[in-house]
Structure 1
Amino acid sequence: MILIKSKKEIDYIAESCRIVAETLQLVKSKVKPGVTTEELDLIAEDYIRSSGGVPAFKGYSQPGTKPFPGSICASIDDEVVHGIPGRRILKEGEIISIDVGVLKNNYYGDAALSVGVGEISDLKKKLLDVTEKSLYEGISQAIVGNRIHDISYAVQNYVEANGFSIVKDLCGHGVGRFLHEDPSIPNYGIKGAGPKIKNGMTLAIEPMVNAGDWRVKTLDDGWTVVTADGLPSAHFEHTILVIGNRPEILTVA
Structure 2
Amino acid sequence: MDLNHCFHLNLFSTMKCLILSLLFCLSVSASGKSDSWIYTVNSNVEAFPVFVETDATCMVFDLNIRSESDSLDDKLQDIQLVRDALMAACAEAKFDLRVNRAFEFSHSYSKYSFSSSVDNPNVEGSMSIVVPLKAETDLVHVARKARQIVSKLKLPKKASVHVVNTGLGIGNPEEFRLPILEAIRVYLEETNKALGDGYEVSIEGITGSVRARQSGERKVQLYIPFSIVLNSR
Normalized against structure 1, the TM-score is what? 0.27
Higher strand share: 2
Normalized against structure 2, the TM-score is what? 0.28
- Over alpha carbons, which structure has the higher Rg? 2
Asked which structure has the greater RCO (Cα within 8 Å, sep 6+), the reply is 2
